[in-house]
């Protein structure tokens, strides 16, 4: 998709109401939001081609995301006045269990949304596995799938997550800066999925 690269919205948003979480947690809306986040800006037609759905259905779900302030209209990227361009309304989204724990409806919505996100992440990774031969040796060597086991308390896990997030953020910013300076050779979208949680056996 062509993108004139508007500066991303500066604010990071934490979803704290059930209505917005439900709106975001719809399977197709999750996919549309994720696709739009990668594209930067896009029309319903472009997104429909990416997710293999009818334009009318995609337009409906984009309007629902916009009603909850999750996406917003973007500057037109072409001279066609009939085209409506969209972008994510925030740079990052988050939602935490503690914001929904006092309502059975909220707990269910939070769990359902997280499960759908995990399914979406798994789908992304399985697509890579299906296509990895086409990525070439350098990308196959660079890609990673690992798991680790540590004995931590909650404060240590919180600190570990914060440090990992900060490290990834430095690479995000470094990549953006390099691209803005014209260093685009060999750059691709890279997904980093992180899950850290306690368990007992």
This prediction has a pTM of 0.84
Longest dimension (CA), the chain: 60
**Element spanning 142, H or E:** helix 137-142
CA distances 148 to 80, 184, 196, Å, are 51, 33, 9
For residues 4 and 55, which has the higher predicted lDDT (pLDDT)? Answer: 55
pLDDT of residue 28: 95
- Residue range 83-125, pLDDT digits in tens: 899 999 998 999 999 999 999 999 999 999 999 999 999 999 9
- Residue range 106-116, pLDDT digits in tens: 999 999 999 99
Please tell me the total number of residues recorded for the chain in this structure.
201
């Amino acid at each position: 998709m062509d993108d004139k690269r508007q500066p991303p919205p500066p604010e990071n948003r934490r979803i704290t109401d059930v209505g917005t979480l439900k709106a975001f947690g719809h399977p197709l809306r999750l996919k549309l939001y994720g696709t739009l986040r990668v594209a930067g800006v896009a029309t319903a037609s472009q997104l429909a081609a990416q997710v293999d759905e009818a334009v009318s259905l995609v337009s409906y779900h984009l309007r629902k995301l916009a009603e909850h302030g999750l996406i917003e209209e973007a500057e037109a990227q072409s001279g066609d006045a009939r085209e409506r361009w969209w972008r994510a309304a925030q740079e990052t989204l988050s939602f935490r269990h503690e914001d929904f724990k006092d309502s059975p409806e909220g707990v269910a919505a939070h769990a359902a949304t997280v499960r759908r996100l995990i399914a979406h992440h798994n789908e992304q990774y399985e697509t890579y596995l299906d296509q990895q031969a086409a990525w070439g040796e350098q990308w196959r060597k660079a890609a990673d799938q690992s798991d680790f086991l540590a004995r931590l308390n909650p404060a240590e896990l919180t600190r570990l997550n914060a440090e990992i997030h900060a490290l990834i953020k430095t690479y995000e910013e470094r990549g953006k800066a390099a691209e803005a300076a014209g260093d685009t050779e060999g750059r691709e979208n890279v997904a980093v999925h992180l899950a850290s949680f306690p368990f007992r056996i």
